[in-house]
Structure 1
Amino acid sequence: MTHDYEELGLVAGLEIHQQLDTASKLFCGCPTERRDPEEPVRSFTRYLHPTKSELGELDEAALEESRVDREFEYLAFDTTCLVEEDDEPPGRLDREALNTALEIAALLDCTVVDRAHVMRKIVVDGSNTSGFQRSTLVATDGEIETGDGPVGIADMLLEEESAARIEEREGGVTYALDRLGIPLVEIGTKPDIRTPEQAREAAERIGMLLRSTGKVKRGLGTIRQDVNVSIAEGARVEMKGVQSLDDIEALVAGEVDRQVELLDIADTLESRDAAVAEPTDATEVFADTDSGVIAGAEAVRAVRLVGFDGLVGREIQPDRRLGTELSDHAKRQGAGGIFHTDELPAYGVTETEVEALREAVAADPEDAVAIVAADTDVAERAIEAVAERAETAIEGVPEETRGANDDGTSRYLRPLPGAARMYPETDVPPADPDPAEIEAPELLTEKVERYREELDLGSGLAEQVAYGRHMPTFEAAVGRGVDPTTAASTLESTLTELRRDDVPVGNLTEEHLLSVLELVEAGELANEGIAPVLTELAADPTLSAEAAIETAGLSGVDREAVRETVVEVIERNESQIETEGMAAFSGLMGECMGALRGKADGEVVSELLREEIGRRT
């Protein structure tokens, strides 16, 4: 669907959440490396409930979350401490994390606060053992540039990451504690974004600035984008959990589509004098039903939607209808979803049962009816939630928090949080940031230019290294005198090839890589031997680089030994040399390198091979 976004009054903003690559977690000394969820050493369970703010108010989002009684299981590891289990007060704010946040603030042209006070943000979905997330405001009032004009930075906070959701099961959720407490920054833009394209560009710019520090974690799940979207006649909607930059543009455009459709539905409902009746019991209507879903339920609850006929089934996003929105709310209460008369008879429900349902709730032809089949208490909660959502459909677009789907659509999660979810953290003293001690890092765009001009890397390789996750290792290697091209190709090409060959390159530390590159620079290992040596180190990380060379059988050979191998290859191919002369070089070079198995540098082999061929032609 094509829109004039200026005419619609599109306003959007971003919240970027980026994990920091620190040695310790934000409020304890535990490491920030992720663990295998299959290897916990123990587990424990908790039930969480919302608490009132210091003004005695309950946050609406937390209250809705608490209406579903769930048990939360937490997987603990040998690195898990009592702070993570919420059995011990937190320590002071991690200084390394704070300093990295100050670097990011400088890149965003933000003003740093005089004193950083830690706050508690109520979270009762189980993602934090304490029932709240600790967060502190670090900087405000920054700005970034985009092709469509500047985008203001409202604020930047330093927060603790939530626990990782492992499994959702009936009656509860399982989380792993290895992720809980990893420092992250949350960057919120001002509502200055006016097009989907500008939203993507702004997120891309912020991501580049974050990676420029060389101190942020990389990989799936280490950065998340939330997008706030509204149009003039609609409402502010926050879409959470956008994993990819490629999704931002589609999600903003898709949300505009959804709000436009919902506003049109609201206009139609107003013209029909629409209303929502009180939910009723419809269990008897389906007493002898052949519908498997309904027959297995304890109760069926129904709600008459006056004037909604034909609109519940109306598509508002690809494969999502107004009925899907109602279903999302039912699912939040533990139901499997809803059935409605715009789609019935279907799913084993007959025409006769539909007529009986309409009669039971006194529905007229212009009305729709929605039903929920579940255990009695779930069905009652779910049908009330459906009725509430149907009432907001008459009004227009509800403010809410939604989850981003992979296909560019979104689903209802919970109401928008309010100010009542925040209150001061009394266990952690405030910190005094000192931006004067921080030097803003070189931007990645500037690195690309420096790599091209000073290190003589090609444009593609320079950009690949600068934006890649191994950029800090590359900088360290060049600082130790390693040839830049060798370092770059090893980190960006060789490691990628090894990963594709299922070599566990994740076992390789920065020191492994630097040691191997230094041996190449010193002439103790040929370039061709890099991959075999790294393979050995990945298989056994306890080895030294020198030991890995021995294990790989790549102990270097002197120049005369290389000449002997070259001569042997030539003697086996004398007839080819007589026929082709120097044209035989390419094929014989491969044979020589194979015979030497990476024990000699390719340039030395090439020189000697050309010399020996020249003697025979």
Structure 2
Amino acid sequence: MKIGLEIHFQLGGNKLFCSCSTEGTELNESFTRKLTPVMGELGKLDTAVEYETIRNRNFLYRASSNSCLVEKDEEPPHPVNPDALKTTIAISKALHCKVLDYTSFMRKIVVDGSNTSGFQRTGIVGMDGYVKTSRGNVRISTITLEEDACRKLSEKEGVVEYSLDRLGIPLIEISTEPDIIDPDHALETAKAIGHYVMSMQNFRGEVDSIRQDVNFSMGFGRVEIKGVSKLSFIKDTIEYEIKRQSSLEAISRILAEKPHEIGNFIDITGMFTNTDSSMIKKSIASGKSVMCARVSACNGLMKHGNYKLGREFADVAKNMGLGGLMHSDEFPAYGLSDEELHSIYSTAGKGDNDAVIVVLGEKSRIEKLKPLLDERFDKILKMQLEETRSATPSGETRYLRPLAGKERMYPETDIPAVKITEAIMESIEKLVPKSLEETMNELTKKFKLSQVEAESLINNNLLSLFKALAGNFDNPHILSRILLQTIPELENKKGKKLSQVQMVDIFGNQYLEARQLPQYHNTDSILELSRREKWDRNTFETALSLYIIDNIPVSELEKREELKMLNDNEIKKILDELVKDGNVTQKNVIPLFRGKTKQSFNPSDVIKIFVTMQNQK
């Protein structure tokens, strides 16, 4: 077994080849494109490009407030973002890579329409490094700086809809050699690499800012698994792929001595004039066809226990934009009657050991499906499994397209090579992130945090934000609690994550500086109110609750009675009333005190004044 990783990290600030912000919202403007296949530098057409040509899709792009003519591919790219380049060099140094003398950008053909130009610009910055793990060093093959792709919104009826808001965001890609031993080691390696990038001040730190690709092989060819969205899914995805390939190996052994083929598709739409199957009825009503084909010797292999050959075929059909692929191992599901099944099997020529697949969709698309299924079936039987797959949120993988090759690369003619001068190298020395051990020591010694707090800040992508804001809190523990507990608890209660505008309302422009985002918010913040009014932690958390849960604007918080701090004289006055009422002790004084006022107070001050009053009796 061989495992390697390609981890992508977004950087905040400006986009890579224009001055647009990395943050934006969608606009009403849109346009469409149709991509035309082109040959790579070696004069050959890439197999993944050929596959996309067969799919024959159209692409609809939604403009955004942070997109310009560069994103629309109607203006040449601007010079590379210097901050993004310096950050990539700093990460390369931290991971012991050799930084190249020049960064030359290449065009990598993009086959799914996720870039308006039909290619992605990418440049190698560092090579031949390593990251330390508990199970030995994992070699880093390359560290590249590239532009991120469009954000996919939907796909329907052969049209893929994208937003331009993500297109062009600086993306650092860190690729390892296949030195990873097993799923647990893959997770450890990803965390170790991620620490260095997440320590950078301009790491974007949003929900979708890290994406992992897994390169995996059990000896049957390299499988590239795209888009593992969370670290915790890396292990699940690899374990699923081990089970999938083991199952396909068993199927190939079963079929090794048997004649096997997929028959020609036969139109059986006319069989379903009076069908009770809602799926088929709906498909026919929309003008689509129903077609079937025999799959010899595959009865019980389409979906039975660990055998799921039907899913392999269904993924190909789905990629062709077909509504559904059903098979005989699932029947009589989908509302099919015994009479309909008998007619399907008879028409397809099904024998006792054969399976039958039924496909819904446009007849012209189904006819193009046959050679793709033949090719996939042949590769499975020969256990030639090299391909690109996509990761699902449940930790599974799905067939995406053939594995792209070197033919998709050719030189970028619009961007000159960038010389990495001695001045640039000197300027990044202070940017090189510290190791995990050094960072942990800084958090526990300088900020007096516990090991648990320090690890949680690192693992939750909050390190750079914490360090940027720590100077504004007298006690770093308060900031740690707010970031790790208070805000997540209020987000869970609210049912959604805080937006960047809300984070600015809480922490002010210091949040924007921490994320290296444009200064667009000049009103008061909860943090500034807290410093001005000398709030304690409880009052600050009450203010957060009023803002997040009760939707009280920041401008109104100062007027709220429950946020006005009691002074010593006001505390003593309330305590006098409690003592007069009787039955007050040091153990119950705080809950009784809360019952007497809506205003904020420091519990330790109340205890101190109460004890003084008792001693004076």
Does TM, scored on the shorter chain, surpass 0.5? yes
Do the aligned partners of residues 556 and 367 (structure 1) sit closer, same or farther apart at CA in structure 2, a change above 3 Å counting?
closer
Corresponding residue number in structure 2 for 1:483: 475
Any idea what the Cα deviations from partners look like across 1:126-151, whole Å, max 9, x if unmatched? 21111111111111111112222221
Moved more, 473-482 or 372-381: 473-482
Corresponding residue number in structure 2 for 1:81: 68
State the Cα distance separating 1:160 from its structure 2 match: 0.9
The alignment-based identity, stated in percent, is 34
Distance of 1:518 and 1:353 partners within structure 2: 72
Corresponding residue number in structure 2 for 1:339: 326
Structure 2 counterpart of 1:305, one-letter code: V
Distance of 1:416 and 1:454 partners within structure 2: 49
Distance of 1:429 and 1:366 partners within structure 2: 62
Structure 1 counterpart of 2:251, one-letter code: I
TM, length-normalised to structure 1? 0.86
Of 376, 381, 384, the residue aligned with 2:368 is: 381
Distance of 1:387 and 1:415 partners within structure 2: 14
Of 20, 26, 32, the residue aligned with 2:16 is: 26
Distance of 1:365 and 1:210 partners within structure 2: 58
Please list, as runs of the form range in 1=range in 2, the aligned pairs for 1:434-449 lying within 5 A after superposition.
434-439=424-429, 440-449=432-441
Structure 1 counterpart of 2:266, one-letter code: D
CA RMSD of aligned residues (A): 3.1
Give secondary structure in 2 for the equivalent of 1:465.
helix
Of 283, 287, 290, the residue aligned with 2:268 is: 283
Distance of 2:85 and 2:534 partners within structure 1: 42
Aligned residue pairs, count: 587
Distance of 1:45 and 1:584 partners within structure 2: 69
Distance of 1:588 and 1:553 partners within structure 2: 16
Structure 2 counterpart of 1:33, one-letter code: E
Distance of 1:277 and 1:495 partners within structure 2: 56
Residue 60 in structure 1 maps to residue 47 in structure 2 = yes
Residue 126 in structure 1 maps to residue 113 in structure 2 = yes
Structure 2 counterpart of 1:438, one-letter code: I
Structure 2 counterpart of 1:247, one-letter code: F
Distance of 2:325 and 2:563 partners within structure 1: 66
State the Cα distance separating 1:214 from its structure 2 match: 3.5
Of 590, 595, 608, the residue aligned with 2:594 is: 590
Any idea what the Cα deviations from partners look like across 1:432-457, whole Å, max 9, x if unmatched? 23434322222344233222223322
Corresponding residue number in structure 1 for 2:608: 607
Structure 1 counterpart of 2:77, one-letter code: P
State the Cα distance separating 1:193 from its structure 2 match: 1.5
Any idea what the Cα deviations from partners look like across 1:496-550, whole Å, max 9, x if unmatched? 344345495742324356876577668744444323555688768886xxx9646
Residue 529 in structure 1 maps to residue 543 in structure 2 = no
User: Do 2:94 and 2:434's aligned partners in 1 also have CA atoms closer than 8 Å?
Assistant: no
Distance of 1:145 and 1:79 partners within structure 2: 38
Moved more, 345-354 or 240-249: 345-354
Corresponding residue number in structure 2 for 1:243: 229
Distance of 2:130 and 2:588 partners within structure 1: 61
Give secondary structure in 2 for the equivalent of 1:372.
strand
Corresponding residue number in structure 2 for 1:203: 190
Corresponding residue number in structure 2 for 1:495: 487
Do the aligned partners of residues 603 and 444 (structure 1) sit closer, same or farther apart at CA in structure 2, a change above 3 Å counting?
farther
User: Do 2:85 and 2:145's aligned partners in 1 also have CA atoms closer than 8 Å?
Assistant: yes
Give secondary structure in 2 for the equivalent of 1:138.
strand
State the Cα distance separating 1:269 from its structure 2 match: 1.0
Do the aligned partners of residues 283 and 229 (structure 1) sit closer, same or farther apart at CA in structure 2, a change above 3 Å counting?
same
Corresponding residue number in structure 2 for 1:139: 126
Give secondary structure in 2 for the equivalent of 1:41.
strand
State the Cα distance separating 1:572 from its structure 2 match: 4.2
Residue 14 in structure 1 maps to residue 5 in structure 2 = yes
Of 556, 560, 574, the residue aligned with 1:568 is: 574
Distance of 1:462 and 1:94 partners within structure 2: 32
Do the aligned partners of residues 491 and 250 (structure 1) sit closer, same or farther apart at CA in structure 2, a change above 3 Å counting?
closer
Please list, as runs of the form range in 1=range in 2, the aligned pairs for 1:202-601 lying within 5 A after superposition.
202-232=189-219, 234-272=220-258, 274-276=259-261, 279-283=264-268, 286=271, 290=275, 291=277, 293-294=279-280, 296=284, 298-316=288-306, 321-351=308-338, 354=341, 356-433=343-420, 434-439=424-429, 440-479=432-471, 482-500=474-492, 502=494, 506=500, 507-509=502-504, 510-511=507-508, 524-532=534-542, 549=558, 554=563, 562-576=568-582, 579-591=583-595, 594-595=597-598, 597-598=599-600, 601=602
Do the aligned partners of residues 575 and 30 (structure 1) sit closer, same or farther apart at CA in structure 2, a change above 3 Å counting?
same
Distance of 1:403 and 1:532 partners within structure 2: 43
State the Cα distance separating 1:401 from its structure 2 match: 0.9
Give secondary structure in 2 for the equivalent of 1:146.
coil
Moved more, 497-506 or 184-193: 497-506
Q: Structure 1 unaligned runs (5+)?
A: 1-9
Distance of 2:349 and 2:571 partners within structure 1: 95
Structure 2 counterpart of 1:574, one-letter code: K
User: Do 1:328 and 1:337's aligned partners in 2 also have CA atoms closer than 8 Å?
Assistant: no
Give secondary structure in 1 for the equivalent of 2:418.
coil
Distance of 2:449 and 2:531 partners within structure 1: 17
Do the aligned partners of residues 402 and 505 (structure 1) sit closer, same or farther apart at CA in structure 2, a change above 3 Å counting?
closer
Moved more, 283-292 or 456-465: 283-292
User: Do 1:138 and 1:156's aligned partners in 2 also have CA atoms closer than 8 Å?
Assistant: yes
Do the aligned partners of residues 497 and 394 (structure 1) sit closer, same or farther apart at CA in structure 2, a change above 3 Å counting?
closer
Moved more, 607-616 or 508-517: 508-517
Residue 168 in structure 1 maps to residue 167 in structure 2 = no
Distance of 2:611 and 2:322 partners within structure 1: 77
TM, length-normalised to structure 2? 0.86
State the Cα distance separating 1:357 from its structure 2 match: 4.6
Any idea what the Cα deviations from partners look like across 1:196-231, whole Å, max 9, x if unmatched? 111111112112222122331223221111111111
Distance of 2:76 and 2:529 partners within structure 1: 48
Do the aligned partners of residues 449 and 563 (structure 1) sit closer, same or farther apart at CA in structure 2, a change above 3 Å counting?
same
